[in-house]
Amino acid sequence: MKKVLLIGGVGAGKSTFRQRLTAAPIEYAKTQALELFGQVVDSPGEYWERRRFWQALQMTSCDVDVVALLLDPTTTARIPAGFASGLSCPVIGVVTKSTLATPQQVETARVRLSQEGIEQVLVVDSISGDGFEAVREVLCPD
Ligand SMILES: Nc1nc2c(ncn2[C@@H]2O[C@H](COP(=O)(O)OP(=O)(O)O)[C@@H](O)[C@H]2O)c(=O)[nH]1
Ligand SMILES: [Mg+2]
């Protein structure tokens, strides 16, 4: 499996995505620091939301194969322009909570990610497991 760094705002669904991906029990736990779980690096939403923490994310991106930017389609939090330029590896987009969002909200989230230059966007629901076949194809090739 590729090594992946999960980034995105508070509550975007990074830790739940990580739990589904690593087949861990799905339970809420606040992420307080950069945390390594096998091939998955989880990060606190505050690191994404506050620019002074970006350097930590940028440095960590040197050690992974891919960065996944997670976006909750039921919120409208802004994606800061240019964030991807400081990252050292490819970035994919992940739209989470697909079963809570309307199709229109999912589409809007997809468009917002592609407007930031993110070409590959996956749509998932980490509680139900919807969309994880495609996630595994991308993160666990062969
Ligand atoms: N229905 C649904 N709820 C989700 C999903 N992802 C996260 N959640 C819920 O959203 C809240 C925040 O999730 P969490 O993974 O902790 O977000 P993080 O701050 O990005 O790590 C929790 O209550 C999760 O149960 C999802 O794909 N579907
Ligand atoms: Mg978390």
43 has a pLDDT exceeding 80: yes
Q: List the CATH number of the domain containing 105.
A: 3.40.50.300
Domain span holding position 25? 4-139
23 has a pLDDT exceeding 80: yes
| Nearby residues of 87 by Cβ (< 8 Å), 6 or more positions away | 57, 58, 61, 67
Tell me which DSSP letter residue 75 carries. S
Q: Please count the structural domains in the chain.
A: 1
Determine the pLDDT at residue 77.
79
Q: What is the pLDDT of the chain when averaged over all its residues?
A: 94
Nearest to 132 by CA among 7, 13, 51: 13
Q: Residues with Cβ within 6 A of ligand 1?
A: 8, 10-16, 28, 31, 45, 96-97, 99-100, 125-127
Determine the pLDDT at residue 46.
95
Nearest to 95 by CA among 72, 127, 128: 72
pLDDT in tens, 75-116: 987 888 778 778 989 999 999 999 999 999 999 999 999 998
Could you tell me the pLDDT band of residue 132, with boundaries at 50, 70 and 90?
very high
Among protein residues, the one whose CA lies closest to atom 26 of ligand 1:
97
